[in-house]
Structure 1
């Protein structure tokens, strides 16, 4: 049986750090690793919202194609 080394919780860092030394979940502006994480999160939420909207029958893409004659 394998034994695992455990350590007290006080040895753990208080926040997750990114390589620039700032909290990974901080809402920072500019070209930072944190901004890229937030950009990805918000893009995923937007994509999911569009998929749900399309499944409900309100297709923006289909309406635009219909307006231009396709």
Structure 2
């Protein structure tokens, strides 16, 4: 049985543009889209927890406008 070093990427991970898809690269690239999605999920979860704790930004804005 032959083992690979752990630093080798599987062929699927670098197939799109030849770079590690989990690397944090600046600019318009597939990695940016992955990080954007991950950070959006963290932000959505953080806001959901904040809202469940009773601090609702949306409810406060609706209250200010008169709804």
Shorter-chain TM-score range? 0.7 to 0.9
Q: CA deviation at 1:29?
A: 1.7
What TM-score, normalized to structure 2?
Answer: 0.82
Q: CA deviation at 1:62?
A: 0.1
What TM-score, normalized to structure 1?
Answer: 0.79
Quick one: distance in 1 between partners of 2:15 and 2:54?
A: 41
Q: Whose Rg is larger?
A: 1
Unaligned runs of at least 5 residues, structure 1: 1-6
Query: Deviation above 4 Å: which 4+ runs of structure 1?
Result: none
Matched residue pairs, number? 64
Aligned counterpart for 1:8 among listed residues 2, 20, 38: 2
Quick one: distance in 1 between partners of 2:36 and 2:15?
A: 16
Unaligned runs of at least 5 residues, structure 2: none
**CA 1:18–1:66: 2 relative to 1, 3 Å:** farther
